[in-house]
Amino acid sequence: MRWLVGWSSTAARAAEIGSAGATGYDGETVHPVGSHLLWGDPDPLWAVGDWRPDEVRVVQADPETRIAVLGLCGASDEQLRVALFAARGGALRHLTAWPGSYTAVVQVGRRVTVCGDLAGARPVFYTPWAGGTAYATAALPLADLIEANLDFGHLAALLAAPDVPAAVQDSTPYAGVQRIPPGHALILRAGAREIAGYEPVASLAVAAPPADPDSAVDGVRDALVEAVRARLSAPRHVPDIDPGPVPGMGPAERRAARGMPVPGIGADLSGGPASGTLALLAAGLPGMPGTLLGHGTGAGERLLAVTFNDLAVSGREAELERAGALAANPRLHHVVVTGGEEVLPYADLDGPLTDEPGPSLVTAARHRARLMSGSADHFIGSGARQVLDAHPARLADLLMDRKRRHLVRPVAALAKADGSVLVPARVYAAARRLARTPYRAGLEVLAERLLHQRFDEPGGAVGASLAALTWARPGPAARWLTGEALAEVSVRLQQASARSGVGPGQRPGDYRARAALARHAADLRILEQAAEIRSQRLHAPFLDNQVVRACRALPETLRVRPGARAEILRTVLKGAGVTDLPPGWGAPSHAPSAAAARTGLRVSADSLLDLFDTPLLAEAGLVEARVVRKAVRGAAAGEPLPLDGLADLVSLELWLRRLLARRGTCWTGTPARARAVPAGIARGVAEVEAVRRLV
């Protein structure tokens, strides 16, 4: 893991500290373990972890004005210096407009500004500490700093309503540690904090100005090309030197056995449109895009393209054929990684502790098996679906903007998939109802559903679309939570709806799409930590700020067309000079993932039942062990249960076990302090009784 951490002290505290270092409550001096100091007191900043030299840049105008950029940023030092002078006046948005994925920290006197990203893949966390405010790009170091306990309300919300920002709020699994919403920045002035948004929000009163589809797609193409070019322009990295030959193994076999990535740049090539677009863009841009000569791959400067072939589950034959056709490009070096039952979801549940829980913990070993054959810098197509596809709730946005005729094509596609003539009327009625429902009413309906445990939703593609045509809906794991946990989430929703001026300031479809993107980006961040390979960096250009902005500029009428994502990416490739795509490129395929999850559940049912024999989730009062064990047996037997909900339960249980099993803290020089969650799973008696009175 890599993160940055720092704090801002009050003026009195800064005078007290002087140059002696950062001091805690008990007078001890604290330092992050394995840290590199970027600048010192009174508002110090550290970079922690295995950062590459080119991933940490500090540009200073004078002793009290400087900027630190951590991550991959396409801005030159001169651009950073110009931006630093502009930031003196409080401007923020330009700090997030460079290609790449990075975190920018600006210090002007005693004012410190930390910018988060638009998607949520590089979040910022903060907590009150020692009379000021500590911040970091990871929550666990701050939890260790204040010896935080678990926030059971947040854990319940993660299971009951993970896609509802009003339920999850700005909390984290650690009590007292909070996160900055995507598209916002944390501003600290002598310890006092302020959260400011740097992105304009569309008005609810006036329809958005009509956007030209062609120019919008051109904007997506330009942003993607710049995002890929920023990675290709960065210094190339070679993992640790091979320690020597092993009898019977070649260089590639030794590297794979030791978990070392291939030097240079590579990409996933699953056969889908997102990964294929990035691989073809990276291979087609001028220069030398791929692996390094003389480092054992035999591929020269060709881009390494990795395809995963699941031998345990069928259904991806067409995608594999398309991947093979794309790999015929002479600038690609194709590698096919095979995996059987040993890499199915739930098969291997051992792994490192991540900063937060996430559903991807149950599939981390599956991704790691593929990434071990990848490059030191590896492109992945994650996020394309969330930034390009139309969330079903966007149909209500079209009605609000009086664009009814554009509902014809998506509704006709749903009717064709369902085979019922009643589909258009049902979908139109649901979209119209959502367009007329206030945000506050949507939260109140969800709070009531959770309190009375009503989770029945129609099935199939049409049922999923109808269920999504709401401001908020229960999560797939909500049906297995206890009444106390559901009541606690219901109270959080009622409190959110009762606040004055409540409302997201956006149309329901846009609001739901942003929430879905934030959740996906957060889970991808957890996946990177869980499947991390030493010396490897994963790059998801679709989650870059400029790419997200370009995708948000796409008109709704273009998004809602069936197959819009594939057509947009086809146009992007055509504009970049790539026209020879295999037949069927861009065809959707969700069935293999669901089949792999169900097969993994069946194969690993016994180990999952053992996991929930005495679960920590039950000790926390979130579930009953017998209920979860019954659900696992039912899903393994083929009952139509929401598999995503079981993944949420299993991943949260795994994360809790890893958190409580850890030793040590993220800080040194603190003999009088303990790590986060020092008392284990311990809910206060008063808290439990207060929740039970609500049921």
Kindly state whether residue 294 falls inside one of the protein's structural domains: yes
Angstrom distance (rounded) from CA 569 to CA 528 = 25
Q: Are strands 3-8 and 537-539 parallel, antiparallel or unpaired?
A: unpaired
In the predicted structure, residue 695 carries a pLDDT above the cut 90:
no
Query: Within 10 Å of residue 291's Cβ, how many Cβ atoms?
Result: 26
CATH code for position 190? 3.60.20.10
Residue 15: predicted pLDDT: 46
Kindly state whether residue 412 falls inside one of the protein's structural domains: no
Residue 413: predicted pLDDT: 83
Q: Looking at the structure, tell me whether residues 442 and 563 fall in a common domain.
A: no
Q: Looking at the structure, tell me whether residues 492 and 522 fall in a common domain.
A: no
What is the domain count for the chain?
Answer: 4
**Highest mean pLDDT (candidates 299-308, 402-411, 679-688):** 402-411
Average pLDDT over residues 133-154: 95
Q: Of 584, 585, 579, 589, which Cα lies nearest the Cα of 329? A: 579
Average pLDDT, the chain: 87
Name the domain boundary from 534, 554, 587.
587
Band the pLDDT of 137: cuts 50, 70, 90.
very high
> H or E element: which one contains 371?
helix 364-371
Cβ atoms of residues 74 and 58 within 8 Å: no
Q: Looking at the structure, tell me whether residues 50 and 176 fall in a common domain.
A: yes
Burial of 94 (C-beta count, 10 Å sphere; 0-12/13-18/19+): middle
Name the domain boundary from 587, 609, 629.
587
In the predicted structure, residue 504 carries a pLDDT above the cut 50:
yes
Percent residues over pLDDT 70 in the chain: 87
Kindly state whether residue 408 falls inside one of the protein's structural domains: no
Q: Of 96, 120, 98, which Cα lies nearest the Cα of 106? A: 96
Residue 315: predicted pLDDT: 81
Residue 424: predicted pLDDT: 85
Residue 298: predicted pLDDT: 44
Percent residues over pLDDT 90 in the chain: 60
Q: Identify the weakest region by mean pLDDT among 563-567, 624-628, 670-674.
A: 670-674
Kindly state whether residue 245 falls inside one of the protein's structural domains: no
Q: Looking at the structure, tell me whether residues 176 and 277 fall in a common domain.
A: no
Helix boundaries (H) for 40-109: 77-87
Q: Identify the weakest region by mean pLDDT among 181-190, 208-217, 255-264.
A: 255-264
**Highest mean pLDDT (candidates 64-68, 159-163, 678-682):** 159-163
Q: Looking at the structure, tell me whether residues 345 and 472 fall in a common domain.
A: no
Kindly state whether residue 397 falls inside one of the protein's structural domains: no
Q: Looking at the structure, tell me whether residues 487 and 360 fall in a common domain.
A: no
Q: Of 214, 241, 213, which Cα lies nearest the Cα of 556? A: 213
Q: Looking at the structure, tell me whether residues 478 and 564 fall in a common domain.
A: no
Q: Of 480, 510, 525, which Cα lies nearest the Cα of 357? A: 525
Domain range for 619 is 589-662
Name the domain boundary from 587, 621, 640.
587
Kindly state whether residue 649 falls inside one of the protein's structural domains: yes
Kindly state whether residue 392 falls inside one of the protein's structural domains: no
Angstrom distance (rounded) from CA 119 to CA 515 = 9
Band the pLDDT of 87: cuts 50, 70, 90.
confident
Residue 551: predicted pLDDT: 95
Band the pLDDT of 616: cuts 50, 70, 90.
very high
Q: Looking at the structure, tell me whether residues 350 and 218 fall in a common domain.
A: yes
Average pLDDT over residues 421-430: 86
Residue 686: predicted pLDDT: 42
Band the pLDDT of 685: cuts 50, 70, 90.
very low
In the predicted structure, residue 233 carries a pLDDT above the cut 80:
yes
Q: Looking at the structure, tell me whether residues 601 and 560 fall in a common domain.
A: no
Average pLDDT over residues 520-529: 96
Structure tokens at 445: 């309906």
Give residue 563's identity as a one-letter amino acid code.
G
Q: Looking at the structure, tell me whether residues 346 and 453 fall in a common domain.
A: no
Band the pLDDT of 118: cuts 50, 70, 90.
very high
Angstrom distance (rounded) from CA 236 to CA 52 = 11
In the predicted structure, residue 644 carries a pLDDT above the cut 60:
yes
In the predicted structure, residue 294 carries a pLDDT above the cut 50:
no
In the predicted structure, residue 353 carries a pLDDT above the cut 90:
yes
In the predicted structure, residue 301 carries a pLDDT above the cut 90:
no
CATH code for position 329? 3.40.50.620
Residue 297: predicted pLDDT: 45
Q: Looking at the structure, tell me whether residues 12 and 155 fall in a common domain.
A: yes
Residue 263: predicted pLDDT: 84
Angstrom distance (rounded) from CA 672 to CA 536 = 36
Average pLDDT over residues 298-313: 81
Q: Looking at the structure, tell me whether residues 30 and 149 fall in a common domain.
A: yes
Kindly state whether residue 183 falls inside one of the protein's structural domains: yes
Residue 684: predicted pLDDT: 53
In angstroms, the Cα distances linking 567 to 98, 214, 274, 580, 609 are 26, 12, 11, 14, 44
Give CA 113 to chain center in angstroms.
Answer: 22
